[in-house]
A and B are shown apart, each in its own frame.
Chain A
Amino acid sequence: EDKVVQSPLSLVVHEGDTVTLNCSYEVTNFRSLLWYKQEKKAPTFLFMLTSSGIEKKSGRLSSILDKKELSSILNITATQTGDSAIYLCAVDSIPHYGGSQGNLIFGKGTKLSVKP
């Protein structure tokens, strides 16, 4: 069965710390890996990764994919209280249940709390 596993499930840090969130996956036919940030409501898109070893950056956030290790990391440097959220990793693949157009399989998320 296809699955996406995120670790840790929750993390508490202080402002200014650097954090690394992990995502590993086992899917039948990998297409891409996506990171989302979810605050109180809907997830918002952060990154999409398709090529191994190429880092994507947006301000203090960056992410990289390792296709050999079937994993990705999301780094946040100089954390701020506004970074407190659930970070979701999702993998796009052909699903095990036979759907014709593929599926986004989400991990359970990492809840990040940044203390002042």
Chain B
Amino acid sequence: NAGVTQTPKFQVLKTGQSMTLQCAQDMNHEYMSWYRQDPGMGLRLIHYSVGAGITDQGEVPNGYNVSRSTTEDFPLRLLSAAPSQTSVYFCASSTGQGRSYEQYFGPGTRLTVT
């Protein structure tokens, strides 16, 4: 099993550009989520999904969109990048019991917006 994979590992965007961060898992997990990690701020939940076709907002959803067309994939879209979105982004997945259980994190995407 590859676990949770994320692409790209690094990305530099200009303000106003859009892009999609990819996340995939091969563990047949129902629950997937996106976090951002900023220095001194800890991990904050952006969006999450409890299964294909179902998504919901987390604590900091503004400026991001998600969709979940398959169990495996959970892409995160930045609609119009802003410098405030410079961060490290982690995707995570866990069993159908939800986030209370062990979450497996991807390796992260380091995004810089200039």
**Chain A residues with a Cβ under 8 A of chain B:** 4, 31-32, 34, 41-45, 48, 50, 88, 90, 92, 95, 97, 99-109
Contacts and interface: CB of A to CB of B under 8 A. Distances in A.
Given A42-B107, A92-B99, A92-B100, A101 B59 contact: no
* Top-9 shortest CB links A-B: A42-B105, A106-B42, A106-B43, A45-B102, A108-B42, A92-B100, A32-B100, A41-B107, A43-B105
A34 B104 CA distance: 13
Interface of B: 4, 33, 35, 40-45, 48, 50, 56-59, 90, 98-108
A97 B33 CA distance: 17
Contact of B103 (A45, A100, A102, A108): A45
Contacts of B56: 99-101
Contacts of A43: 43, 90, 105
22 contacts: A31-B100, A34-B103, A42-B4, A43-B43, A43-B105, A44-B105, A45-B102, A88-B43, A92-B99, A99-B56, A99-B57, A99-B58, A101-B48, A102-B98, A103-B59, A103-B99, A104-B43, A105-B59, A106-B43, A108-B40, A108-B41, A108-B42
Nearest to A103: B45
A101 B105 contact: no
Of A42, A92, A101, the most chain B CB neighbours within 10 A belong to: A42
A34 to B, nearest CB: 8
Contacts of A50: 100
Interface majority SS (helix, strand, loop, mixed), chain A: strand
B74 to A, nearest CB: 14
B98 A97 contact: no
B87 to A, nearest CB: 14
Contacts of A108: 40-42
B43 A90 contact: yes
A92 B45 CA distance: 12
Of B42, B58, B105, the most chain A CB neighbours within 10 A belong to: B42
A77 to B, nearest CB: 23
B102 A48 contact: yes
A80 B33 CA distance: 32
A35 B1 CA distance: 24
